[in-house]
Amino acid sequence: MTTWLVTGGAGFLGAALVRALRRERRVRVVTLDLLTYAGDRARLSTLEGDEGHELVEGDIADRVLVLRLLERHQPRAVLHLAAETHVDRSIDDPASFLRANAVGTLHLLEAVRGWWQGQAAASREAFRFLLASTDEVYGSLGPSGCFGAESPHAPRSPYAASKAAADHLAQAWHATWGLPTLVSHGSNTYGPWQLPEKFLPLLLLKALRGERIPVYGDGAQVREWMHVDDHAEALVRLVERGVPGEPCLVGGGEACTNLEVATRLCAALDRVHPQGAPHARLLEHVPDRPGHDRRYALEAGGAALQGWKPGRRLQESLPALAAWAVSERDWLERMAQREGVGVRLGLGGRA
């Protein structure tokens, strides 16, 4: 059985990816995660005792550690999902995002390149390095059109800028040294086990508490929504079928405004948790985020994803997400105690 190394595998998307890989017993997985405020072992609790999974606590910028893992496990692929991801935090502390997302990716690429260049030709040919990026690197769209694979990077937040820098590094390491890198750009991802600093889990936690639910600005910002398990499946397919050097856009295909998805999730919560219903009465418009992108839309696809499309729709997934939040409220409450989670950040002096 081959091995894949997943960085950030105790995070939201990373853990979904690791769980999927082990559920199907496709590969052995080594998870490398620094276990910052955003990482949590509970997301991988179903893998306790699984001999096909190993969790290593450590930093992607620790080249000695990364090289030791590479030499020990000889992975067929490295899937790089370790990142700082919360836009509001990036506005308050841009330097930490550059360190984690850009400089951290640089160190990881260099460790992987050094190891990869020492492998036999067949192993070098089969190897893949995947960087999971975001649609936010492309900036903000007007009322029509989509981002495509040829769209220029135009980041509008420190988070997006740090991810754009990582994209360019991965592409440069392919062009300069031939390292077989893949870069995916995914749309807004939702689902269980997401940290309650993000919109939907924060909404659910505040609704369960009976607290006001913040909606930035007029709530008319448009996003494409994709379930975390669909996103994980797309990343696996990209590693298995993607062409190094060619970016891939992974879109959910379901566009709606932040206010629309909030209203629909409140209605779903009403059905599984009628105490306090209607929960939509708790929605409250608050000052918008500085530089808030108005609309994202992806012209999703590419050769690697030909014939694939997300299988989970919002209509069916939001009730399940609401039910999950009710059953896992203790986890949401525990995560909300971590520094900066669930409080308003990122006003940037422009309230």
Catalytic residue set: 135-136, 159
Pairwise CA distance, residues 307 & 75, whole Å: 27
Q: Could you tell me if 259 and 220 are in contact, meaning their C-beta atoms sit under 8 angstroms apart?
A: yes
| Rounded Cα gap, residues 56 and 58, in angstroms | 6
Exposure string (b/e) for 259-269, b if CB count within 10 Å is 16 or more? bebbbbbbbbb
Which of the 8 DSSP states describes residue 342? T
Answer whether 222's CB lies under 8 Å from 175's CB: no
Q: CA-CA distance, 55 to 44, in Å (whole number)? A: 9
Distance CA 56, CA 69 (A): 9
- DSSP strand pairing (188-190 vs 128-134): unpaired
The Cα–Cα gap between 157 and 137 comes to 9
CA angle 24, 112, 108 (to 5 degrees): 95
- Which structure tokens are listed for 279? 């929960």
